[in-house]
Chains A and B, each alone.
Chain A
Amino acid sequence: MSAPLIACHECDLLQREVALPRGGVARCARCGAELYRSHPHGMERTLALTAGAIVLFVLANSFPIIGLQLEGQTIQTTLYNTVRTLWDEDMKSVAVLVFVTTIAMPALQLSALAYLLFPLRLGRVPAHFSAVFRVLQTVRPWGMVEVFMLGVLVSLVKLAHLAGIVPGVALWSFAALMLVMAGIGAVFDARGLWARASRLQGAAP
């Protein structure tokens, strides 16, 4: 029996799977889209990064991002406060957009990852595995932590001439969260996840 078939998700070309060297990437022979990649311990790494990202996410949301120092007073804002202010300023659609892309979607993505990976690591397939997996794949393009981070930096420069800037704990947490989430994007292996799940389901029907 030859290697299993795989179809490119961008151009639909049928190809045979090939074995990859460590850290290798398989690309479509026709359009060049990434088909899959091999990561030694991809799942363990994703799980570790997810655990770290959850801690950073909580920090990033509970502490002030930046503060302004003016005449001895400090004004600070958290991420939730910025959403709240937009809402109160009657910019409800913008407030929802910011909330969804910086709080809701990353939260959903991280909890879905944790929900899928922790039990799998312990040798169980969690309930509603496929539904949660679908949520995870749908949510992914809408989390924009890295763009938000750049936005904060730009506003920092913009405000610097008005008052002294006090970087908050959440600013550093966001910067770290951005890196860790980029790491998750790089090591997450959906194919490996399904392979593990179906092996487990086959073992314990």
Chain B
Amino acid sequence: MSAKQATAASVGLLNCHICGQLSRLKRGLHEACCPRCGSALHARKPNSIPRTWALLIAAMILYVPANLLPMMHTSSLFGSQSDTIMSGVVYFWTTGSWYLALIIFFASIMVPLLKMLALMVLLVSVQRSSRWQREQRARLYRLVEFVGRWSMLDIYVVAVIVALVQLKALATIQPGPGAIAFGAVVVLTMFAALTFDPRLIWEPQRESHG
């Protein structure tokens, strides 16, 4: 890395996060509109750190019921049964579909967990103005953004199964409250990733006025 590295903000330019147009910030103003596409412009995402923390903490709280409450209730002639995410994984594992067990385990349990941990690492390191492994942390942020959507997998599985087995006389499958909590975790962590401003990794000290 070279010593002299000008950022847009350091020379009074704002980068539009929607269309990528650079524009000059008028003196005294804190916010403006992009002259090309009209989006609101900020040097940094406003209140990025407290907002991301708020969304992240909400997601962490909901992660508990998402894993403990059942995603599905199955009732048939042979009795009824409730399935959590983990029992679904175990079911696939014991019936020989170990590859599906792995996919669901990663998408539904590991990805949300690692995503929340990663966001925590990013937030804490930014708050401590850390210069540690900045390129790796930038990469971590991109990974979080890319991978988060795959956690929706279990929601879709529940939706499809419920719709199909609903209509059958032998058994009915109903969605459980875990599905609501789980959906909320996915949406909250996606919003948390969108609210986090990766530019803070490179210039943590500018965060204070945000």
Query: Which residues of A are at the interface with B, using a C-beta cutoff of 8 A?
Result: 5-14, 30-33, 36, 65-66, 68, 70, 75, 77, 81-86, 89, 91, 93-94, 97-98, 101-102, 130-131, 133-134, 137-138, 141-142, 144, 147-148, 150-152, 154-155, 157-159, 161-162, 190-191, 194, 198
Q: Report yes or no: B165 in contact with A194, Cβ–Cβ below 8 A.
A: no
Q: In the complex, are the beta carbons of B157 and A10 less than 8 A apart?
A: no
- Cβ of B93 within 8 Å of any chain A Cβ, yes or no, is no
- Can you identify 14 A-B contacts, CB atoms within 8 angstroms? A6-B22, A10-B198, A11-B199, A11-B202, A13-B202, A14-B6, A31-B135, A36-B20, A86-B175, A89-B166, A93-B183, A97-B183, A97-B187, A147-B156
Residues of chain B lying within 8 A (CB to CB) of residue A32: 135, 138-139
Query: Which among B15, B156, B160, B194 is the interface contact of A9 at CB below 8 angstroms?
Result: B15
Task: Using A82-B163, A151-B160 as known contacts, say yes or no to A12 and B20 having CB atoms under 8 A apart.
Answer: no
Evaluate contact between B179 and A94: CB separation under 8 angstroms: yes
Instruction: Specify which chain A residues have a CB less than 8 angstroms from the CB of B180 in the assembled complex.
Output: 91, 93-94
**Is B126 close to A, CB under 8 A?**
no
Please give, as numbers and ranges, the residues of chain A lying within 8 Å of B168 by CB-CB distance.
Answer: 68, 70, 75
Closest chain-A Cβ to B147's Cβ sits at a distance in Å of 11
Give chain A residues whose Cβ lies under 8 Å from the Cβ of B149: 141, 144, 147
Cross-chain contact of A151 among B145, B153, B187 (Cβ < 8 A) = B153
B139→A154 contact, CB < 8 A: no
B174–A134 touching, CB < 8 Å: no
Q: Beyond the given A68-B168, A131-B38, A191-B20, could you list 13 further A-B residue pairs with CB under 8 A, ordered by the A residue number? A: A5-B13, A7-B20, A11-B201, A12-B8, A30-B202, A68-B165, A77-B163, A93-B180, A94-B159, A130-B19, A150-B150, A150-B153, A151-B154
Q: Which of B48-56, B96-104, B115-123 contacts A (4 or more CB under 8 A)?
A: B96-104
Task: For the complex, give the distance between the alpha carbons of A31 and B142 in Å.
Answer: 10
Q: Which residue of A lies closest to B95 (CB)?
A: A161
Q: How many residues of B contact A (CB 8 A)?
A: 68
Q: B157 and A89: CB pair below 8 A?
A: no
The distance in angstroms between the C-alpha atoms of A75 and B164, with both chains bound, is: 7
Q: Which residues of B pack against A, CB within 8 Å? A: 1, 5-9, 11, 13, 15, 17-22, 36-39, 92, 95, 97, 100, 103-104, 107, 134-135, 138-139, 141-142, 145, 149-150, 152-168, 170-171, 174-175, 179-180, 183-184, 187, 190, 194, 198-199, 201-203
- A82 and B160 within 8 A (CB): yes
Q: How far is the CA of A8 from the CA of B198 in the complex (A)?
A: 11
| Nearest CB of B to A109, in Å | 14
Shortest distance from the beta carbon of B66 to any chain A beta carbon, whole Å: 12
User: Is there contact, CB below 8 Å, between B97 and A157?
Assistant: yes
Q: Is the interface of A mostly helix, strand, loop or mixed?
A: helix
Are the CB atoms of A134 and B18 closer together than 8 Å?
yes
Contact between chains at A7 and B157 (CB < 8 Å) = no
- Give B151's nearest chain A residue, CB to CB: A147
Q: Which residues of A contact B37 (CB under 8 A)?
A: 130, 133-134, 194
Please give me the residue from chain A that is nearest to B9 by CB atom: A12
| A-chain residues with CB within 8 Å of residue B161 when the two chains form the complex | 155, 158-159
Q: How far is the CB of A64 from chain B (nearest CB, A)?
A: 10
* A85 with B166: CB separation less than 8 A: yes
Task: Please name the residue on chain B nearest to A75 by beta carbon.
Answer: B167
How many Å lie between the Cα of A166 and that of B155 in the bound state? Answer: 22
- By beta carbon, the residue of chain B nearest A97 is B183
* CB-CB nearest in chain A for B7: A12
Which residues of the other chain, B, contact A147 by a CB distance below 8 angstroms? 149-150, 152-153, 156
Verify B164–A154 contact, CB threshold 8 A. no
B209 to chain A, nearest CB (A): 15
**Residue among B103, B138, B154, B162 making CB contact with A85, cutoff 8 Å:** B162
